[in-house]
């Protein structure tokens, strides 16, 4: 989480550089809004955010989700976020970096979440997206699938779906697809 103290230090440094005549980079409206969103995050205890490129690159970050209930309880799933400079007028690009057996996440990591597509509105924020991703793990939706096979199994045989999820999370094959351990 970005701390207020660091932000004040950064503002002080920017002010010092400005007084020395050093160039400072002007932030886009998207960066300013994203900074506000991140400073106001109120994540569930089972979620965390990190900045693999350092604190200077707020537009690219990762979110780790560890569901504490449902089929995916005990697993850890990593998502990458890429936020464009026109955010919030365009939703972030979100990919699941953990290969997962899930009806709403395909094997390439694409995520089927309505607020990342047709239901996106500029009033939504990063916190909303993270809660939406968390909700996909607590209540997967077979009615709007990206992984049609997983959706059919969830719809027709929830016990088998649960067995497939456990096998995939433990590191094993589901059908012809191998999943690395994420428990």
Is the Cα dihedral 98, 99, 103, 106 positive or negative? positive
Which whole number is the average pLDDT over 43-56?
93
CATH class of 4-179: alpha beta
- H or E, element range at 159: helix 158-170
Classify 122 as helix, strand or coil: coil
Which whole number is the average pLDDT over 49-64?
94
Residue 28 is predicted with a pLDDT of: 86
In degrees, rounded to 5, the angle at the alpha carbon of residue 63 between the alpha carbons of residues 62 and 69 is 160
| Residues with catalytic roles | 112
Higher-scoring residue by pLDDT: 70, 24:
70
Other CB atoms within 10 Å distance of the CB of residue 70? 16
Closest C-alpha to 47, from 162, 122, 126? 126
On the question of pLDDT at 41 being above 60, the answer is: yes
Calpha distance 95→78 (Å, rounded) = 9
Q: What single-letter DSSP state applies at residue 116? A: G
Residue 29 is predicted with a pLDDT of: 87
Average pLDDT value over all residues in the chain: 91
Residue 92 is predicted with a pLDDT of: 98
């Amino acid at each position: 989480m970005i701390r207020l103290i660091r932000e004040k230090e950064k503002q002080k440094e920017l002010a010092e550089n400005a007084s020395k005549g050093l160039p400072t980079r002007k932030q886009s409206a998207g960066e300013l809004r994203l900074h506000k969103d991140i400073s106001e995050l109120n994540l569930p205890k089972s979620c965390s955010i990190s900045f693999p490129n350092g604190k200077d690159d707020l537009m690219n970050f990762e979110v780790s989700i560890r569901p504490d209930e449902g089929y995916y309880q005990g697993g850890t799933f990593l998502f990458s976020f890429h936020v464009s400079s026109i955010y919030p007028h365009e939703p972030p690009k979100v990919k699941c970096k953990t290969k997962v057996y899930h009806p709403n996440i395909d094997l390439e990591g694409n995520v089927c979440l309505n607020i990342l597509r047709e239901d996106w509105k500029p009033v939504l924020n990063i916190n909303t997206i993270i809660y939406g991703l968390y909700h996909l793990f607590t209540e997967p939706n077979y009615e709007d699938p990206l992984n049609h096979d997983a959706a059919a199994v969830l719809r027709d045989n929830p016990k088998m779906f649960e067995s497939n999820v456990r096998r995939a999370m433990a590191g094993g094959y589901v059908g012809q697809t191998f999943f690395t351990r994420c428990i």
